[in-house]
Amino acid sequence: MAEQPTKQKLWGGRFTGTTDPLMHEFNQSLKYDQRMHAADIKGSIAYAKALSLVGILTAQERDKIVDGLKRVGKEWEDGVFKPQPDDEDIHTANERRLSELIGPLGGKLHTGRSRNDQVATDMRIWLLEEVKDIEESLKGLIRVMVERADKEKDILLPGYTHLQRGQPIRWSHLLLSHAFSFRSDLERLQQQVARISVLPLGCGALAGNPFVVDREFLAKELGFQSLAENSLWGVGDRDFIVEFLMWGSLTMAHISRMAEDLIVYSTAEFGFVSLSDAYSTGSSIMPQKKNPDSLELLRGKSGRIFGNMAGFLMTLKGLPSTYNKDLQEDKEPLFDSVDNVSASLKIAEGVVATLEVHADRMRQALTMDVLATDLADYLVRKGIPFRETHHISGRAVALAESRKCQLNELTLGDFKQLNEKFDNDVLAVFDFEASVERRESIGGTSKKMIDRQVSVLRAALAN
């Protein structure tokens, strides 16, 4: 059995007194950073190999350390790793257990390395893996929206501004409007990868590595795209976390806006959509209720994610250069945001995939007044300036309202009293399908343009 090392903190040589138990608890981060155990093992294995390349470790010592680290990793995977009271963080815990398994040789692993560059490396390794999963979840949400839009092009409903009926649109057009916001989120997430994939390992505590470890080797071994060129920046930079939290805040804002649309449309007053029972709950007192709790939680999570971002940015803004213990506050908001954004994307995909659309209710909500702009456009085609036709169309709307009838129920004589350019063909204006089909410039709501949007989004997913 390997010799048991004397228990001491990694930084304990300078200190002769004992740590206040409350301070130990206040300082300890293992309770939440243990989720980085695999990243820490991965980084340590690479570092052991780098130490052997510069002669700090013999090949035999390197292999013994690597084997020990793999055994520690297996204990985490199997759920049998036993944290000890003196384990401050995942780095301390893993090194302590390594030394228990292989003896004093475990103490060589930290040569030239600091927890400052170690934690920065672990977080980047961990986040890169999480971003892969989040990217797939985001693609899944976009994909289900695109497929629904492609199949449900024939469904018409009013488009709203200020929550007032504006013009007729296709249901597909509305779905795709949210999908394009998510497409932008996908692009922004992918663009972050290069800035996350920057290796700090080998920067030491702040001034660099005195044993001239091959950092390019480390970057290649760990799959990083580049390495930190300045050691002070390398250990103190957390911009990649802030950027992810900002990304999460914007993505959740997009989810929240989509959720709000669906919440409104699922009310009895609208009745455009119904949520699946799998994503709804009931009331504890009102038996008739079917509450869109999934959507409300998605809307609520957006505030939580924004709060994580704002809180950490305020922690970061006043720090002096390089590592400060305040930076330990980066993990909880990051972990919480990753968990909640990931779950939110999956829930949103499920909601959209199982949503029941009531095409008849949407159609019934289309009243002839939403064709008032089309009526103005009709006169534009007769050569009248739009500012004038807008006024004429408005007078037609007012006349219909005064008679408590629809626009298309006005007579040709009524229209001619408003302007002599009106003729029998004015009746062709009052066709919702024709209205949406006239919008066939890029970005419009005609079927041709819906097909184009679907193609653009499918290409983005395939990229």
Active site residue 321: no
Q: Which residues pair with 393 in a beta bridge?
A: none
The active-site residue out of 162, 284, 402, 441 is: 162
**DSSP state, 291?**
B
Alpha-carbon torsion, ordered 152, 153, 156, 159, to 10 deg: 100
Pairing of strands 156-161, 164-170: antiparallel
DSSP for 194-261, written as a single string: HHH-EE-TT-TTTT--TT---HHHHHHHHT-SEE-S-HHHHHH--HHHHHHHHHHHHHHHHHHHHHHH
The first and second tokens of residue 231, run together, are: 């050691």
- Residue 200 phi, psi dihedral angles, 5° rounding: -90, -20
**Distance (Å, rounded) from C-alpha 141 to C-alpha 258?**
12
Q: Residues 68, 94: contact at Cβ < 8 Å?
A: no
Given the structure tokens 């534009």, which residue do they identify? 380
Active site residue 358: no
**Distance (Å, rounded) from C-alpha 132 to C-alpha 58?**
36
The active-site residue out of 276, 283, 321, 455 is: 283
Short-list 281, 412, 436, 337, CA closest to 127? 337
Short-list 50, 94, 51, 39, CA closest to 220? 50
Q: Residues 89, 30: contact at Cβ < 8 Å?
A: yes
Q: Residues 422, 416: contact at Cβ < 8 Å?
A: yes
Q: Residues 212, 223: contact at Cβ < 8 Å?
A: no
Q: Catalytic residues, which ones?
A: 162, 283
